[in-house]
Structure 1
């Protein structure tokens, strides 16, 4: 088993991994273990107050993963703790129907989008391993990155532009376009009063603004 240490200041486990290290947050370990304990009806896998931020807690997390891998549920899609049940159903439907979608990620407590333009367009796939998590697979690719399912604000059908899922807190990004005074990049896109992007022409600025408000526009239009 890899050597594990505790970084109390950063609230995470630090795990030796080959020639480097990987990290796992205390809360993340607890939430995964508790979710698995609930789905498997295995109360013994759930964290107690004494397990949090301890090596015993990390060991319990590993035992929960192992228990999941030995259960029939390991053949199903595994969603992050905190994922909205409706978002999970929509992602799974998009995966089985190979539907191209646009994801909008952000803070689910405020509904504020993160204004991500990369790794948000493609079809939904699924990883291998014990926890088969949803992946966002971009056009022309065979693999992709894991989706931060608990941070989904919206899922948009690429062909129709219809919202397949919208988080209760989601609100469109409050963006505006103003002249920058810069000869090279004449137009700024602002979120409230903060500049978030600059462009040579107003057409690209408008396409960026529309994309960040949920429109299904290819990012190459404004890059």
Structure 2
């Protein structure tokens, strides 16, 4: 187990990693440990009262990951705590079928998309290691970024544009296009009354708006 210290102000563990440091939130440590404890049927791995925000809690998290790595479940895909069961099934189906998808991420409480334009189009892969998490792999790449599975609002089939998964709270981004006073970027895209992007060409503004509302538009058309 790597040496860790507590950063109470930021609610996280600061962990020594070679010549540097990484950080891991108290809530993440608790939620992962509790999820692993539940899936393995090991109540001893779950957080007890008083473990939260302590070094004992971080040790419990590490013990849970170690137990997972020694179980048959380490060969399966591991999803973040709070991931919708249907979203997990769709991601796994897309991974095994090598299906190209468009992901929409956002706040699952409000259904509001984050308007992410990077790392949201590609195929679903899987990491190595003890916890094999889903990755979004872009065309031509051999690796990718971990997907924030618990923040998925929608998964869209790239070929057909059909929704494979839609969170119950998801609502399409409320966007509009308006002329601006900027000569270099005369077109603004607004979410309600807030400017979220500006473009020099109305075609790019329209492509951006369509993409952010779920359209399978190549991001290179507006980036």
Q: Per the shorter chain, which TM-score range?
A: over 0.9
Q: Which residue does the alignment assign to 1:114?
A: 114
* Alignment partners' CA distance in 2, 1:205 and 1:167: 26
1:182 is displaced (CA, Å) by: 1.3
1:201 is displaced (CA, Å) by: 1.5
TM-score normalised by length of structure 1 = 0.99
- Per-residue Cα deviation, 1:138-161 (whole angstroms, up to 9, x for no partner): 000110000000000000000000
- Per-residue Cα deviation, 1:11-65 (whole angstroms, up to 9, x for no partner): 0000011111001100000000000000000000000121000000000000000
Question: Is 1:209 aligned to 2:209, yes or no?
Answer: yes
Q: Which residue does the alignment assign to 2:22?
A: 22
* Alignment partners' CA distance in 2, 1:54 and 1:31: 14
Unaligned runs of 5+ in 2: none
Q: Which residue does the alignment assign to 1:36?
A: 36
Unaligned runs of 5+ in 1: none
- Per-residue Cα deviation, 1:90-117 (whole angstroms, up to 9, x for no partner): 0000000000000000000000000000
Trace 1:158-177 onto structure 2 (pairs within 5 A): 158-177=158-177
Question: Is 1:181 aligned to 2:181, yes or no?
Answer: yes
State the Cα RMSD in Å. Answer: 0.6
* Alignment partners' CA distance in 2, 1:102 and 1:201: 24
1:2 is displaced (CA, Å) by: 2.3
* Alignment partners' CA distance in 1, 2:184 and 2:171: 32
1:10 is displaced (CA, Å) by: 0.5
Q: Which residue does the alignment assign to 2:97?
A: 97
Q: Which residue does the alignment assign to 2:221?
A: 221
Residue range with higher mean Cα deviation, 208-217 or 181-190: 181-190
Q: Which residue does the alignment assign to 1:46?
A: 46
Partner secondary structure for residue 52 of structure 2: coil
Q: Which residue does the alignment assign to 1:62?
A: 62
